[in-house]
Structure 1
Amino acid sequence: MTAARSGGAGAPGGHPRGRLDDVIHAPVRFSVTAALAAVDEAEFKVVRDAVEITDSALSKQVAVLEEAGYVKVRKGFVGKRPRTHLSLTGAGRDAFARHVRALRDIAATGLPGSPP
């Protein structure tokens, strides 16, 4: 399942904010996707510590990303201890890359006629 990707007008020539992904744009979800974009897979607690949030807060945000089809959750065991691993899906990697491009485009956008 996929979520609505962007708010605003994403028409060619429109402001780049129209290409921002509503699912990824929330600061914690952006931080989670950024952390996962750097690796193939990460253990839940490693992401939690990197993003500096609680287990429950990460669980809630991962559920949103998973529902959007951006994150895959894999549960397993190391010995007798349960472990949860997170990874970005192909769609998640693509959405993150598009979102970052839109942010860069916004940062590069000045007023018409202003120096570069």
Structure 2
Amino acid sequence: MTELDPVIHAQARLRVVASLSALNVGDKIAFPRLQELLAMTAGNLSVHLRKLEDAGYVEISKTHRGRTPATLVGLSRRGRLAFEEYTEAIHALLDPAPSKEQP
């Protein structure tokens, strides 16, 4: 049986990774916009982003827009691959290869 990546499998982190995977490779989204899209509190989103960052699945950069600090979040190459593997595992669980019929 196929194993699901426990880092991605948590519902909130799955929502984060799925949202980030919709971005073009190398693109990032502002933290407040991601928070708004996912309807998560800043604290909750931060906790899940930290777990994803520790696994190397997201890249977080801190910058400034004018004088205002900005946090940008993007899916890393490793994160994109992990999400692709995760979705393949889900497909395999939902639609397993047909077994040969016994005579």
TM-score normalised per structure 2: 0.87
Partner of 1:95: 82
SS in 2 for 1:109: coil
Counterpart-to-counterpart distance in 2, 1:37 and 1:87: 9
Q: Which runs of 4+ in 1 moved over 6 A?
A: none
Q: How many residues align?
A: 98
Long gaps (5+) in structure 1 = 1-14
SS in 1 for 2:46: helix
Give the counterpart of 2:35 among 23, 41, 48: 48
Counterpart-to-counterpart distance in 2, 1:88 and 1:68: 11
Identity within the alignment, %: 33
TM-score normalised per structure 1: 0.78
Long gaps (5+) in structure 2 = none
Counterpart-to-counterpart distance in 1, 2:18 and 2:92: 18
- Give the aligned CA root-mean-square deviation in angstroms: 1.8
Q: 1:74-111, CA deviations, whole angstroms, 9 ceiling, x for partnerless residues? A: 00111111110001111000000000111111111389
